[in-house]
Structure 1
């Protein structure tokens, strides 16, 4: 029993020592990550290339119009031939739920993959630092030498070039974001002629300044202090989550190694610190999993290159789970992990809902509201009258001509709507309609009634609505 307590105390002390040795860069030191080639760097470039859709998307045309347009003033979302209206907003809610749960599911399986390869902050920071390292130096030593050098025409011109490129990217980012909500070509014209709306200028200014400051200056500090996802990641991990990890059992004790020499008393780690030099957040992965790790795998590429040079097998730093490192056991199969199963079920429900929504998306929407004040009126000739509000939404891109009829109730006649109605694209046409039944024709106090909105220009999209007719008991 005492031996177990001593062992537990030692483990706790080891954990305390490891945590106390962590170094969180609070912005006092500028991180200049060294760039190295490798499989994870190529994968990172591939992940970053997904953002080309953000810049190219607004310029895609479909039937003479912008293919994807979030037209908020007119409350319409256009996706090629599909138009989403506020009545279909539940589909957007399910889509957001799908991606939120997908993010949690991926994190529980392979850590912060989104942060490392797809997050806009990571991507824009990587591009900005790429520009900076090409102009000022790709190592902390070169960057410091450039910074401490006396002012000269060369230095000032290079700094000016760097910030000019940063601002150009920031401006393009702000303009592109605004272009998803209005016609992109008209937006360019409005900006160049200084005729853009105040909202457009505000959006451009906010995104330009935000991109320039966050990607150019704050960088990893955004991940440390502003991003809530970094705070939540811990609750999504378990012992089967695979993350970039240092194999201390193989690497320790670390020490320098002469070229061609073999020292059986030392581990595989030669303490070259290249894994630290390439980390975009400046952490030392050898000190364990930390808040700053965005699981980009750059440290794996760096370590593998050193292992190749020292003729040692790769994998000293690798994607591995806690079970793999500490219990020599492979991660549990995905179907045996409860949280993955729960995430998968929610994803399936959300995806099915969105699929159902698109499959049943209609080009018109018809609604009939029975006015209840009063429920019915008995006219002087004894006939019973009910009042209804008819609302027809045109989801097409052309005017439609609609006429209304009723059926399903013998003797019922429709009044108040004598002619067909023209409904513009994206508009709702509310009408007041009266339905009368002669005295003696109403069999019960509640009868079913069917309203039909006949689209004269396109009968295939005509629609019906089941309602009721009410009378005295």
Structure 2
């Protein structure tokens, strides 16, 4: 019996594997058995792809932008300070990071709902770096046919020279990718002075090494396999699309049946698709768009450029492959994208998150004050008949310079503040504690608890005055 069960389990396992292979065949997924050498053609979508990818230049150049004598954007993790131009965000304001993450998550959802995987096709770092790597490969090794021939050729001095130059450039790009990442977390110019002399932090060397190897392997070798098997977005994007989403699509009703163009052809009976396979040749993931929307399609629209050029040559109208919705291709009424309910829901969440971020950035005060009332004991009866409360003040200096903060208190006419004669010296980007006492004559207390307000005031290096206040309570004996 156990043997029969084992045989059945093996049959089920084998059938599952066969089903996976059949699915891969149906979806035209390259499982890594061959290297994809995509053909590169000019066109409007290729130009747009390069334009969108150029946004990543900010990643490399951003750390060198200066503001008021220091790095404009610096995530100073050791000191728990995050400098954004003139604003300094401390851990106390980290709630804005949650809103920022929510904003980008919803932005990804709304873009996907409207135009599919535009992030993957035009902005994703894996796509952009792979595109740069393959561009270098083509410049050194030639077009796809020449690259395939070189890969299969035996090793020679010429092949070794070309391959060495290519891999050397790839490794250099990976190194500067990691170096630029570290530069966002430490002063970029200081990093250049310390990194190559062995004086940088050990974490900097480890991070650069990981980024160098990761970029080299992911963009140089795994390429589209990263999108297929490592990226979770490729798996979940299917539930984010619907029949009204615009994606690069093949117009099957117009293109089928396929047939090649003949020179002596007088009247064409086949569809507009001439079965040239140029749409497959230019696809960076190797999918055939004519098989419908697939997991491997990153909606880069390069197949549209290729098909439009062929249509121009054979004298047929463009748009056999175009950005279109499933409703449009099947002849159903199309819905205006911005009138869809979930787009409005996404947009509302985006607006709230963005409003919260802007409010947080604009309301960042250079000075904050917190007050902790002593609990043991709550109050002390002095020999002169006064009631005394003890408080611990925490002064947070959000500026880049040390400041002198004067402390005051209000809320009762006969109140005396003890221990605040000298200003509190608050260090930049840190919390400075100060202990003070408040006394009120017992006969002057009208209730067991008296609300009071502590005030903090300082003059900033710029000459402006910064103030902060915090409510607390003065506690006395039961009346």
What is the TM-score when the length of structure 1 is the normalising length? 0.93
1:11 aligns with: none
Structure 1: runs of 5+ lacking an equivalent: 1-16
Is residue 351 of structure 1 aligned with residue 343 of structure 2? no
CA distance in 1, matches of 2:206, 2:413: 60
Is residue 28 of structure 1 aligned with residue 48 of structure 2? no
Question: Does the 8 Å contact 1:18/1:288 carry over to 2?
Answer: no
1:307 aligns with: 311
Give the Å deviation of 1:20: 6.0
Question: Does the 8 Å contact 1:410/1:441 carry over to 2?
Answer: no
Give the Å deviation of 1:43: 0.4
Deviations 1:237-286 (A, max 9, x none): 01110000000000000011124735432001011100000000000000
1:265 aligns with: 269
2:159 aligns with: 155
Q: How does 1:55-454 map to 2 (within 5 A)?
A: 55-139=60-144, 141-259=145-263, 261-330=265-334, 332-454=335-457
Give the Å deviation of 1:371: 2.4
Question: Does the 8 Å contact 2:170/2:220 carry over to 1?
Answer: yes
Note closer, same or farther for the CA distance 1:387–1:328 as it changes in structure 2 (3 Å cut): same
Question: Does the 8 Å contact 2:455/2:467 carry over to 1?
Answer: yes
Question: Does the 8 Å contact 1:137/1:146 carry over to 2?
Answer: no
CA distance in 2, matches of 1:51, 1:263: 50
Give the Å deviation of 1:328: 4.2
SS at match of 2:40: coil
Deviations 1:316-375 (A, max 9, x none): 000000110012433x12343111011001000001111111221111111112222332
Give the Å deviation of 1:32: 0.6
Is residue 51 of structure 1 aligned with residue 60 of structure 2? no
CA distance in 1, matches of 2:343, 2:431: 44
Question: Does the 8 Å contact 1:367/1:465 carry over to 2?
Answer: yes
Question: Does the 8 Å contact 2:459/2:466 carry over to 1?
Answer: no
1:3 aligns with: none
Greater displacement, 317-326 / 416-425: 416-425
Question: Does the 8 Å contact 2:82/2:90 carry over to 1?
Answer: yes
Question: Does the 8 Å contact 1:383/1:436 carry over to 2?
Answer: yes
Give the Å deviation of 1:19: 8.3
CA distance in 2, matches of 1:408, 1:428: 25
Question: Does the 8 Å contact 1:252/1:269 carry over to 2?
Answer: yes
Note closer, same or farther for the CA distance 1:408–1:262 as it changes in structure 2 (3 Å cut): farther
SS at match of 2:474: strand
Note closer, same or farther for the CA distance 1:260–1:376 as it changes in structure 2 (3 Å cut): farther
Deviations 1:135-194 (A, max 9, x none): 22321x322211222322211100000001001101110100000000111111212111
CA distance in 2, matches of 1:119, 1:376: 61
Greater displacement, 177-186 / 450-459: 450-459
2:467 aligns with: 462
Give the Å deviation of 1:87: 1.2
CA distance in 2, matches of 1:66, 1:273: 50
CA distance in 2, matches of 1:418, 1:459: 22
2:13 aligns with: none
What is the TM-score when the length of structure 2 is the normalising length? 0.92
CA distance in 1, matches of 2:288, 2:380: 81
Note closer, same or farther for the CA distance 1:163–1:262 as it changes in structure 2 (3 Å cut): farther
CA distance in 1, matches of 2:310, 2:209: 45
1:6 aligns with: none
Deviations 1:78-119 (A, max 9, x none): 111111111111112211211111011000000000110000
Give the Å deviation of 1:416: 2.8
CA distance in 1, matches of 2:449, 2:217: 66
CA distance in 2, matches of 1:455, 1:326: 69
CA distance in 2, matches of 1:200, 1:107: 35
